[in-house]
């Protein structure tokens, strides 16, 4: 496992992966622009792309509409047991110390799911012993067994432990901000001891937000905060 390779968060994916994906699609299709549909962490990445001064003009010129499904930026009111454990019990810090690489990755660099389940069960004192779809997002009377079975084949899926730690930080700080390295490293990276907030009021891509009342992670109160934070002229 390469700790340096996995030292990224969703902000890095918003700055690098999202523009690269857009460029590849447009180059392959020959189209001048596209509609970007993101779900959950995919929306977090695109919120970064829309506001980061290094890539936002490119994104603005190539994406004519952003469709955000279960958007995640503010997490103050989220009710997911998984993310509540991350924040209230600082589980992500423990995971970072235990395995600072991939999280739920199916490749050889990721810890096997059974081992991760056992670790979470231990550090949460039995509160969280099995990582399943409902633990992250909740359930609904509209859920179909076949759909859940198909979804479980690739979700929860892999990301970096740093991304998990970053979401823990968003939950605790109630801000949509850059990754917090600690005061000393923050001063080196950001020129300030505290992490800068990503200004969603700078977003200039027309945006459609879709939330649901039984979504534990993308809570409607947090969605309301997001609506008031985004530039009103770009909301659909």
How long, in residues, is the chain?
A: 236
Q: Give residue 216's pLDDT.
A: 81
Q: Give residue 131's pLDDT.
A: 47
| Contact predicate 49/14, CB 8 Å | yes
Q: Give residue 191's pLDDT.
A: 96
Task: Report helix, strand or coil for 234.
Answer: helix
Q: Give residue 116's pLDDT.
A: 57
Model-level pTM? 0.75
Q: Give residue 8's pLDDT.
A: 81
Q: Give residue 2's pLDDT.
A: 72
232 to 40, 52, 120: CA distances (angstroms): 21, 18, 41
**Sites in the chain below the pLDDT cut of 70:** 1, 3, 81-159, 233-236
Q: Give residue 120's pLDDT.
A: 55
Q: Give residue 161's pLDDT.
A: 78
Q: Give residue 130's pLDDT.
A: 47
């Amino acid at each position: 496992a390469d700790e340096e390779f996995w030292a990224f968060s969703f902000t890095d994916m918003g700055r690098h992966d999202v523009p690269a994906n857009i460029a590849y699609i447009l180059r392959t299709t020959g189209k001048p622009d596209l509609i970007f549909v993101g779900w959950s962490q995919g929306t977090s990445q695109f919120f970064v792309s829309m506001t980061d001064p290094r890539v936002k003009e490119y994104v603005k010129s190539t994406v004519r509409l952003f469709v955000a499904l279960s958007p995640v930026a503010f997490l103050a009111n989220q009710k997911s047991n998984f993310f509540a454990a991350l924040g209230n019990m600082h589980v992500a810090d423990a995971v970072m110390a235990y395995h600072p690489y991939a999280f739920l990755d199916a490749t050889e660099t990721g810890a096997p799911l059974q081992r991760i389940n056992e670790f979470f069960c231990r550090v949460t004192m039995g509160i969280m012993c099995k990582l399943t779809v409902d633990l992250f997002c909740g359930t609904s009377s509209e859920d179909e067994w076949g759909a859940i079975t198909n979804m479980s084949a690739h979700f929860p899926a892999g990301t970096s432990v740093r991304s998990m730690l970053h979401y823990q930080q968003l939950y605790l700080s109630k801000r949509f901000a850059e990754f917090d390295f600690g005061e000393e490293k923050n001063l080196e990276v950001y020129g300030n001891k505290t992490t800068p907030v990503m200004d969603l009021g700078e977003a200039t891509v027309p945006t459609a937000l879709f939330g649901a009342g039984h979504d534990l992670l993308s809570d409607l109160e947090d969605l309301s905060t997001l609506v008031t934070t985004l530039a009103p002229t770009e909301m659909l």
